[in-house]
Every structure is written in structure tokens, then in C-alpha cells.
Structure 1
Amino acid sequence: MSKRARLLAALVVVMTVFVGAPADADRGISVPAFYTPPSSLPSENGALIRSEPLPLALSLPGLDGPLPGRATRIMYKSTDNNGRPVAVTGAYLEPTAAWKGPGKRPLVVLAPGTMGQGDHCSTSLALQRGLILGIGVTQSTVSIGYEVLAAYRLLAKGIAVVQTDYVGLGTTDRLHTYVDRVDEGHAVLDAARAARALTGTTSDVGLYGYSQGGGATSSAAELQASYAPDVPLKATYSGAPPADLLDTTTAIDGTELVGAIGWAVNGFVQSDPSLKPLLDKYLSDAGRAALKDLSTMCVGDAIFAYANKKTSSWTTTGQSIADVLRSEPVARAYIDGQRIGTTKPAGIVRVATGVNDNLVPHPQARTMAANWCGLGGDVVYVPVDNVKTPSPLLNHFGPLLSDQGTAVDWLAARLAGTPATSNCGALPGQ
């Protein structure tokens, strides 16, 4: 069995379980002091604020060093969607495996899929703890670091990986601005800059993300030219991106992941306080309690607590959150400003979405790809033929696994200099 196969097999059975109970922490789980930002931040985007060694929950000994490599926890400076400085955390992973392609070892920014909104849900903590399990009298929590699968596939190819925790996920000074287009795009691009600052090397950059991560990498590809032209972006993988949040909100309502709507609303109001009067107008006591509860939850918690509930039970009018967003001009303008697909992306982008994905709807992701084609973008659109099940969550999660190896191989080939041809001309027939 190869080193890579042994490592992936071990992932199934080797996990670090963390059980905590500090009463003042999110759902009883403590967050290390590292995640508290300093009172003043550097001026340069991507500048390192601090770093420290990050022990990996899953690591095996190897002849040339630990497998898959060594990790460093990082905090770096970014800029939020209001133009204000913000501290973001993440992790840099240097692979033990050699890069077998031409030139310097490339770097991939891994934008994680949905982890939740509690600070203890961050991907960098998940790398360290594996399975986070908190058992309390009134609140419990569970979070699994599933993005380790994609990260370790990339490391096995000799590609360095930097993961971002996004704005507010991990850092204790604010809520995570879930699916905020600009915050996520900036956090992804500044993670590449932070990795460069940490290692002192420059290399070609690729982006990898699925679901929330697909939206983040798509946004970053759009923003690279104006925000980070110094980041040499070669290629992007965007899996199942929530490019149209109104369509996605409508689809998610009443499914296993309805809690994600609460995370989005919490983040919207933090980013734009002018939306708060709408919460005062529409939210019922049950809705206020749900949003407060969700603000400290990881994705597993939200599924256990809110699966298949309707957001119409959160409003005084019986309208769904999507209906409120449609009917209120201020909210509609804000949500329209979150749309991805309006600017030509940098580099070549592989957009993949399950044809039966009815959680993050397949049509809106395909529309993003088509819009990019219309803007002259280099797009490889891939409709993933997944089996449709009664579960929207499974319909969404299936392609994450079934397409992952192909997506990693595609991204590695682009970073090795092998060209790919856009299939925009064939998109209307797909």
C-alpha cells in the first residue's frame, strides 16, 4: 500500500477527540488565546500577525519527515467588505512529499466548506483536534474536520496548502460572516500572501473550494485583479458554489442544513447594521432564539438541532427568510450585491456541480459558469452525474467526495503547467 493510501485509510480510524467544558466558551469548548486578535493590526494585507507550530491530529512517521507534513497555525491581516482591517486565522501545511512538477513547489489555498459559526468550529482547530466533541448540561457540540481529505490529497502531490478560517471563524472579536462574498474572497487571497510571508518564497497559486469554499474561491478569482494582482493565480476549482444566495436560501429552507440560513443572516447584519431594523420587524421570539443559538454552533450541531425546520417559524408574519429578502428593497439590494458571476475571473476555473444537487442548487452554479463565459472567462464546466436521493444534504455532499480526486488532479496539472481548454462553447448543451 502506498504512503498516500495508508494515510487516507488511517483518517477513517484515527481521530483526536477533544472534550471540553469551560462554561464561558462557545458551547463548552475553549478556543486557544492565539485566536484573540491584537488591538492593532499591520497595514499590509496578508501580513503575518503571529504564527506557531500546529500539531496535526492525523500524522504518521515517514522516512523523510512526518506525513503528510508539518503545519503552522497563522493569523494574518485582511480587509473586510467595509474596507476595515480584520485579523483572520488559518493554517499553513508544508508537505513532506517532493513536488515532481517543474519550478518551485506550488501553493493551493484551500477554502473550507461550511463548518459553522462558533469559533471552535474553525478548520485550523479541526486540523489539530480532528473530532471536536463537547458534552455539557445544556449545550453540546460536534465538529469534524472533513476538509483534511482534500488537504492531504494535495500534500501527497507535494503541493503546499494554506487553509483560511475566514473572517470571524476562530477569531474571537466578531461573528463569522458566513458566505459574505467580499470577506471570503479577501480572506482567500490574503491567505496566499500570508503563506508567502511565512515561507519567504513565491510560487504559482491555485485555489480549491467546495460549497461555501466554492463560493469563496469563485469570489477570490473575481477579485484577484483588483484586490490582489500580486498573487500569481493560475487555476481555481469551484465546486458547488452558492453564487446566488437568494436561490440557495430558498433551496436550503426546510432541509437538513436550514441552520446555514441563520448563519448567513447573522453575518449580514454584522456586516451591514442597516439591516437590523428588518430583524426587529420580522423576527419572532423563536427566530431570535434560533439565530442566537446558531451563532455558536458547528455544522453538526445545526443539523441535530434544526434539520428540516422551516424559517417561516422564525418570523412574525409566517414568511420565509427568502420571502423577506425578496420583499424588502434594502435586503434585496444587499443580497443582489452578494451575487458571484458578474466579473471575469482570473486564470482558468473548473466549475463542478452535481446535476441533482438541490441544496446548493445546480442551476444557479451553472448560471455562474455561463455568465463567466459570457464575460470572456476561461471556464471548464463539469456537470457531475450524482445519484438523486431523498436527502438534499446527501445530494450536495456526494459530489464533494466523488469528484474530489479528479478536481485535485486537475488543479495539480494546471500548477504543473499543463494547459486546459475552456469548454464554454459546449456549455449551452450541457
Structure 2
Amino acid sequence: MLTAVLAGVVVGPSPAIADTSRGIEIPSFYTPPATLPAANGALIRSEPLPLALSLPGIDGTLPGTATRIMYRTTDTGGQAVAVTGAYLEPSAAWRGPGPRPLVVLAPGTMGQGDQCSTSLALQYGLIFGVGDQTTVSIGYEVLAIYQLLAKGLAVVQTDYLGLGTTDRLHTYVNRVDEGHAVLDAARAAKALPGTSLTAASGVGLYGYSQGGGAVASAAELQSSYAPDVRLTATYSGAPPADLAAVTAAIDGTELVGALGWSVNGFRQTDPSLSTLVDKYLSDAGKATLTDLSTMCVGDAIFGYALQRTTSWTKNGKSLADIIKAEPQLKAFVDEQTIGNRKPAGVVRVATGLFDNLVPHAQARTMAADWCKLGGDVVYAPVTVPWLVDPLLNHFGPLLADQATAVDWLYQRLAGKPADSNCAILPLLP
């Protein structure tokens, strides 16, 4: 097998290797210890993280310096879990009032293999493996991270539960797991020694697609799970708030592999679902889900684009139809719905009008439901040209709105208020 990691120059000794995923070596840092700290957000370990994209500056590297972190969180079942991520200290000065704020970035869909984690992507830029199991992972979240750093905002990104860490599978789009991981990343960043953060540093959340759902969940959970996190504002772009609607929309597109990641994660969270799912899966479907469990986004697109989940089942039913037909599975999926709890702080919900991958309508419904609950919501429909391809209709608004979203979050953390537009939301598309 030939494997390759394309990256910036990494100075220092090679990291100890604990595991491999699709032929890519996973450093031992990502193996959790047998015993975890008692408190959520407690740091477990940290180490310097060399960035693939950085430049020398007068006072240090640009746009900043990075630290790989592992911290404790709690999963849906109430169990202690180790999560990895990265903290980035900006070289740029903070020019707003008060201490430097912190932004927690929740990544968009990276995949389910440990080699797909965002913290590894920050180090290597591009991870590429060729052999029996090809893999491709691209660190696209660097675009948002570096814009935030350039404004003097400290950034911590979470890898989510099981993405990177070698002890479990990533629980893709699990509402509680992701919300907890986001909030505990803020706690971990403030516990990291040697940063410019203080206890009084305000916190903002940033996420698009999977990340948009994760930060939306975190905003809902903050008051009950992490009231100590000083949440000021949240940018939630294209959130998958209604998984039943998203499941029907993604089936048959380039990103159909994400449905396999969802099912894999559901089965890990609730093992009783395995018997139910296996009743429907064909041998080919079972093999597909196993294959997807170690894949990144690029791998899933190359390997499974445009497939339909009807080809994964014995009776030719789609995953969306199975969810409707099985009360236990439907109840689990319904529990993942975001929009039923009032969010903390002000939230900007941005969604592309022509997004038919993570459908516009269900994201708009989340914003409207939050308004009904008394939430402080800024609803932002994003208009970009409609394209035939659903994947482009989903990522077009990300690129078109990203600079606006970053500046909006910066303004909120700098103390400038934002006016809710809940009153006129019914008039907006």
C-alpha cells in the first residue's frame, strides 16, 4: 500500500503512531486515556500544532499559532468522552472593547474516518492516501478560521465526538453530542494556559452545514448544559435542523454517503437500533456502511455519488421511507430536531434560497420556531444563482455569505447590537 500525506513542512520529531485509518497514520495524541477528568471542558492534554498554511511575521507566525487539544465532554447517554480539536491564538491584535473574544468553530462535514478530523487538516492541509483504500481530506475550514483570526478573534475548533479520537465512531449530526462538544471546546480553550483569553472573554459560535447544526444545538443547550459559557452570538449557516427532510433531499446526490454516516452514528448512540436497521439492510448495504465508516467527504463523493439508499436495502425502500415506517427510528430522528428550545444570545440563521441539499425550508422553519419561542434571531436568506447540482446549491451560499457572516459575528463580539427581524420573517422567503 502506498500512502502519502501532503502538507506544509513539519519541524521536529515524527509523532508516535497509535492507529491507522484507510492507511493514514493517526498520531497517538488522538488515543484517549483510560481515565478522564471529572469536569466537562477539562483539558486532557495539549501539544503545539504546526499549521500547513502559515507565514513568518515580526512577532510570530501569521495568522497565529496553534495548539492541538484533547478535552472532556459528555455524550447523549451521559458518558464521559474525550474530544480533540485545536486552539488558534491570533497574531492580530484585538481592537474591540474588553478582553479578546473566543469563537468556537464547528466544522462542516468532514467524514467519519479519524484521518478526516479538522485538527489534522489544519496541520496537513491535504491528506491523501492511495492503496487498497483511497482517501482524500481537504482542510476547507481554514478559509473561515483565518478570516476570524485576521480580525483578532481567538478560535477553537472541535473535531466532534469520535472524529480523530480512536476509541469510537463519529456520531455524525447527533444534536446533543455536537452541542456538548462545541460548548466544552469553549471551556477547554479558556482552561488552556498561555493564551490571551480571560474568564471575561465573550464567546461566539460559527458553523455551516453540519457545523451550522452543531452551533444551533449548542445555542439551545447553553442555558442548561453550560451556563458558565458567556455566549454572545451564533452564526448558524445551512443547519440540518430537520434530519428527516435532509435525508430525503440528500438521497441520490453526491453527498449520499452522509446518510451512511448518520446511520452508523445512530447505531452507536442507540445500539438497539442495530437490529432494526439490519432488518432492512442488504449485504451490499451493510458493506457500504462499513466502507463509509472510515471515509472522508472526498472518498464518499468519489465512491458513492448519486447512489440511492434503495440500493442498500433488501426490499428497495429508501432510508427516508424506512424512517417513516419504523416508530423507534422515527422517534430517534425526531429527537435530533433543532428549533424546539429557545437559543441563548443572538443567532444569525443564514440559508441559501436554492439550497436543495440541506433544504432551505427546514432551516427557515428552525429560525421561525426560535422566533415563536422568543429567541433573538436574525434570519438571513442568501440569494445566489440556482445551479442544477444540489452540492453547488449548498456550497454556493457558504462562499457568498462567509465574509458577511464573519464580520457579523465580529461586530456582535465587539459589543454592537443586532436587531432581530423576527417581526418580518413571515414576509421573507
Q: TM-score range by the shorter chain?
A: over 0.9
Counterparts of residues 86-165 of structure 1 (less than 5 Å): 86-136=81-131, 138-165=132-159
Alignment of 1:184 onto 2:178 = yes
Q: Give 1:17 shift.
A: 9.3
Q: Is the 8 A contact 1:79 1:183 kept in 2?
A: yes
> Aligned partner of 1:361: which letter?
P
Q: TM-score, normalised by structure 2?
A: 0.95
The 2-side partners of 1:89 and 1:144 are apart by 18
How far apart, CA to CA, are the structure 2 residues paired with 1:178 and 1:400?
Answer: 20
Give the aligned partner of residue 249 of structure 2: 251
Q: Deviations over 1:228-264 (max 9, x none)?
A: 0000000000000000000000000000000000000
Residue of structure 1 equivalent to 2:420: 422
**Counterpart position of 1:41:** 36
User: After the TM superposition, which residues 76-87 of structure 1 pair with which residues of structure 2 at under 5 Å, given as runs?
Assistant: 76-87=71-82
C-alpha deviation, 1:201, in angstroms: 2.2
| Count of residue pairs brought into register by the alignment | 413
The one-character-per-residue Cα deviations of 1:57-115 (angstroms, maximum 9, x if unpaired) are 00101122110000000000000000000000000000000001000000000000000
SS of the residue 1:351 aligns to:
strand
Q: Does 1:274 align with 2:272?
A: yes
Counterpart in the other structure of 2:321: 323
Q: Which residue of 2 aligns with 1:358?
A: 356
Tell me the amino acid that sits aligned with residue 405 of structure 2.
A
Q: Residues of 1 paired with 2:225 and 2:178: CA distance?
A: 12
Asked if structure 1 preserves the Cα contact closer than 8 Å seen for 2:7 and 2:123, the reply is no
Q: Distance in 1 between matches of 2:186 and 2:378?
A: 23
**AA matched with 1:370:** A
Which has the larger strand fraction?
2
**C-alpha distance in structure 2 between counterparts of 1:111 and 1:415, whole Å:** 17
User: Counterpart amino acid of 1:281?
Assistant: K
Does 1:219 find its partner at 2:217? yes
Which residue number in structure 1 is paired with residue 13 of structure 2?
none
Pairing partner for 1:168 from 145, 162, 165: 162
Q: Is the 8 A contact 1:17 1:132 kept in 2?
A: no
**CA distance 1:388–1:266, change in 2 (3 Å):** same
**Which residue pairs with 1:232 in the alignment?**
230
| Distance in structure 2 (CA, Å) of the matches to 1:224 and 1:369 | 17
Aligned counterpart, 1:28: 23
Q: Is the 8 A contact 2:18 2:28 kept in 1?
A: no
**Aligned with 1:31: secondary structure?**
strand
1:164–1:188: 8 Å Cα contact kept in structure 2? yes
Out of 287, 311, 314, the residue aligned to residue 313 of structure 1 is 311
Q: 2:3 is matched with which residue?
A: none
TM-score w.r.t. the length of structure 1 is: 0.95
CA offset at residue 16 of structure 1?
A: 3.7
Contact 2:244–2:333 at 8 Å: present in 1 too? yes
- Could you list the per-position Cα deviations for residues 382-424 of structure 1 after superposition, in whole angstroms to 9, with x for gaps in the alignment? 0000111111000001111110000000000000000000000
Checking the alignment, whether the CA contact within 8 Å between 2:18 and 2:27 is kept in structure 1 is: no
Q: Distance in 1 between matches of 2:248 and 2:324?
A: 10
Letter in 1 for 2:267: V
Q: Is the 8 A contact 1:117 1:295 kept in 2?
A: yes
| Cα distance between partner residues in 2 of 1:111 and 1:128 | 17
Q: Which residue of 1 aligns with 2:54?
A: 59
Residue 207 of structure 1 contacts residue 217 of structure 1 at CA under 8 Å; is this kept in 2? Answer: yes
Contact 2:43 2:191 in 1 (8 A): yes
**Deviations along 1:193-241, whole A, 9 cap, x unmatched?**
0001004722100000000000000000000000000000000000000
Q: What is aligned with 2:399? A: 401
Alignment match, 2:240: 242
Moved more, 234-243 or 384-393: 384-393
Structure 2: distance between partners of 1:327 and 1:233: 39
**Which residue of structure 2 lines up, in the alignment, with residue 388 of structure 1?**
386
Q: Is the 8 A contact 1:343 1:375 kept in 2?
A: yes
The DSSP-based 3-state class of the residue aligned with 1:238 is strand
- Does structure 2 retain, via aligned residues, the 8 Å contact 1:16–1:131? no
Q: What does residue 69 of structure 2 align with?
A: 74
| Structure 1 gap ranges (5+) | 1-13
Shift of 1:15: 5.4
Does the residue aligned with 1:303 lie in a helix, a strand or coil?
A: helix
Partner of 1:345: 343
TM-align CA RMSD: 1.4
